[in-house]
Chains A and B, each alone.
Chain A
């Protein structure tokens, strides 16, 4: 993102796979963090902490990233963002996205965690095409 400052926008969407039982609560927790103004720090914390996503872990990460415990815990318990996560899952299904991570670079699918050089090449292609 820093390398392409101002020329690339990243939109994160949740696609918790059914085989990853703790991915959905983690996605909902990240949105709770977002509602409290700390989405990206919490998001990064979750990726660093994979796959320890039990409820107590999620709350501990929230406190560690500077979130207030009580409102975060309440948001998580109420599953306030369950439908928002489900909306992303439905959209992925409609787009034919079935595995994670899947990237759509100006709409072109780029599937799987690939070497950074491949990303750079795909982004450069998209920038050239956008001119």
Chain B
């Protein structure tokens, strides 16, 4: 005699699967965003991120000199 066991997902396992899927989707979106942001940073001009107080001259100037220096 063969016992056929039918496995039906419980309510809890369905809830668990649903939230796991949501979490994975959110992680994928975040990972994609991080990759895009990383590429944007890599392509950003060297003057990007500068403190406005550490800039002399107008933003419309045709030449931008970025000086990396130390004081010592």
Contact = CB atoms under 8 A, between A and B. Distances in A.
Interface stretch (B2-10, B15-23, B27-35, B56-64): B56-64
Contacts of A72: none
A88 B47 CA distance: 10
A27 B71 contact: yes
Contact residues of A: prevailing secondary structure: mixed
Contact of B53 (A16, A39, A105): A39
Contact of A9 (B42, B57, B68): B57
Interface residues of B, number: 26
Contact of B62 (A39, A46, A95, A130): A130
Given A9-B63, A105-B63, A34 B53 contact: yes
A106 B67 contact: no
B51 to A, nearest CB: 6
Contacts of B61: 6-9
Contacts of B56: 1, 9-10, 12, 40
B55 interface: yes
Contacts of A53: 71-72
Interface of B: 42, 45-47, 49-51, 53-59, 61-72
